Amino acid sequence: MVAPRNKSHNSSPHHIVIVGGGAGGLELITSLGNTLGKKGKARITLVDAGLTHVWKPLLHEVASGSLDANANEINYRAHARKHHYEFQLGRMSGLNRATKTLVVAPFMGEDGVEVVPEREIAYDTLVISVGSTANDFGTPGAQENCLFLDSLLQARRFHNLMLNAFLRKNHEAQQGRQHRLHINIIGAGATGVELAAELRLASRELPVYGMNHLRASDVSISVIEAADRILPALPTRLSSAATRELEHQHVKVLTGQPVSEIKEDTVVMKDGAELPSDMTIWAAGIKAPVFLSKLEGLEVNRDNQLVVLQTLQTTHDTDIFALGDCAACPQPGSERPVPPRAQAAHQQADALFKTLCNRLQGKAAVPFVYNDHGSLINFSRYTTVGNLMGNLSGRSMYIEGRVARLFYVSLYRMHQVALHGFLRTGVIWLMDKISRAMQPRLKLH
C-alpha cells in the first residue's frame, strides 16, 4: 500500500477524524494536535458522545464514592483549545466509505428536544476508538435488573443508588427491622474484584458520616465468577493473592458458579440456587458497541470488534483505523488478539501516532507489537497486588503492598502526562493531595 501524500498547497489540509475520546483516542489526538494540528499540517477532529473524559479504569472508584469525578474529568472543548484540535459532540451512527464521510446522530437535550441535527463529517483518515460495553451474553434479566459501569453516567447512577441503599438499610436498622444489604458482583475480572474492595471500604466509612445503625457486617458483598478462579486471565499466583485479600475483607468469593438468570431481587445460579440481591452489578465480559457491526463493508468479529491488521488498519479499508477495546488486533506468534486493556490502548496510540505522521509524508505504516508490562489489582486503601514483566528475561515478578500501589498510581499519572505534560500533571497531583486532605474520604452525594 502507498500511503497518502500531503495535499497541494491550495487544497484543504489532510483531515484526521478520531471517533471516541477514551484512553487511547484522547492520547492519540493530543499527540496529533500538539504536532500536526499546531503546525497546520493536518486538521484534527474528535467526535464523542459526551462532553468530558474520565479514565475508564477509575469508574469503579467513582461508583463507590472514593473518587470525585468532577475533579478528575477533562472537558473536551477546553482540552481541544489547548491542544490544537476540533471537537464535535455527537454519537457516530453510520459510515459512507465511497464519499469518505461518517454520520453523526442528532444530539438530543435532556428534555428530548433536538439540539444539533444529524450531520456528516468528511475525513481523509478515520480512527475509530469507541471502547467497549459489558457483555451480558444474553443472560435473562441482566439488562433489566443489573447495574453496569461502562460510562461515567452509569457510575454516577450506581453511586446514587448505593447511597440510597445504605440510607434505607440504616433506617430499617434504626427501626429494628431486617436490614441486611446484599450486593452481588457478577464477574471477577479486575473491575469486579476492585469494585468489591471499594464497596467494602464504603460499608466501613459511611457509618462515620451518620449512618451508624448499619454496620459493615450487615453489608454482604459477593463476587461471582463462572471460571474456577477469580482473575482467570491473570497468573494463578495473582489470582490466589486476590482471593485471600477479598476473603480477608469479608467479601464472599464464589467461583465455578455460572449465572443463569437475574431477577429483580435475586441472582439465580445455573444449579438452581438463588442468592438474595439488593444491588446486582454486571462486570463479566466485554464487547464492542453494536453499531460497529452495521458499518458499511468493515469486518467485525462476534464481539462486534473491528478486525484490524497489525498496522491497526481495518482489513477492508486502509484509510480507516481502529484501536483499543473496539479493535481485534493480531499478536505475532499468538492465536489470541491483543487483550482489551488500558496499557494496550496506550501503546496502540503511540504506534498509530507514528503511522499517521508517516502517512502525511508518504511513508509506510508502523506495525503494532504489544508488550505486556504486567497486571496490577488495587484493593482500595487496603493493599495492591500485581506482577511486573521483565523486559529482558520475559519473567514476571510478583509485587504487593506499597511498591505495588506506587506502580498502580503511576499508570494513571502516565495517562495524565500523555494528556497534559509533566509540569501540569505535577500541579494536578499536588491539587489532588490537597483535595484529599480537605474533603471527606467518600463522596457523600
Number of residues assigned to the chain: 445
Picking from 409, 353, 431, the residue whose alpha carbon sits closest to that of residue 55 is 409
Angle separating helix axes 23-32 and 401-420, nearest 10 degrees: 40
The arithmetic mean of pLDDT across residues 139-153, rounded, is: 95
Inter-residue contact 312 to 305 (CB < 8 Å): no
Question: Which pLDDT score is estimated for 374?
Answer: 87
Fold: same for 14-132+288-360 and 142-286? yes
Share of the chain above pLDDT 70, in %: 96
Grid coordinates representing 189 are 475480572
pLDDT at 8 over 50: no
Grid coordinates representing 255 are 467461583
**Measured CA distances, 257 to 52, 220, 226, 227 (Å):** 37, 17, 5, 7
* 64 CB burial (10 A radius; 0-12, 13-18, 19+): buried
pLDDT at 30 over 70: yes
* 207 CB burial (10 A radius; 0-12, 13-18, 19+): middle
First to last CA, the chain: 55
pLDDT digits (tens, 9 = 90+) for 384-420: 988 887 544 456 788 888 888 888 888 888 898 999 9
Show the beta-strand stretches assigned E in 208-263: 219-225, 251-255, 259-262
The arithmetic mean of pLDDT across residues 168-195, rounded, is: 93
pLDDT digits (tens, 9 = 90+) for 312-333: 999 999 999 999 999 999 998 8
Question: Which pLDDT score is estimated for 407?
Answer: 86
According to DSSP, the residues that pair with 375 across neighbouring strands are 387
pLDDT digits (tens, 9 = 90+) for 190-214: 999 999 999 999 999 887 788 888 8
Question: Which pLDDT score is estimated for 6?
Answer: 46
Q: Cα separation of 44 and 169, whole Å?
A: 51
Q: Where are the domains of the chain?
A: 14-132+288-360, 142-286, 374-436
| Cβ atoms within 10 Å of 289's Cβ, excluding its own | 20
DSSP assignment of 349-387? HHHHHHHHHHHHBTPPPPPP-----EEEEEETTTEEEEE
Q: Cα separation of 411 and 27, whole Å?
A: 14
Q: Cα separation of 194 and 185, whole Å?
A: 11
Quote the CATH superfamily of domain 142-286. FAD/NAD(P)-binding domain (3.50.50.60)
pLDDT at 442 over 80: no
CATH of domain 14-132+288-360: 3.50.50.60
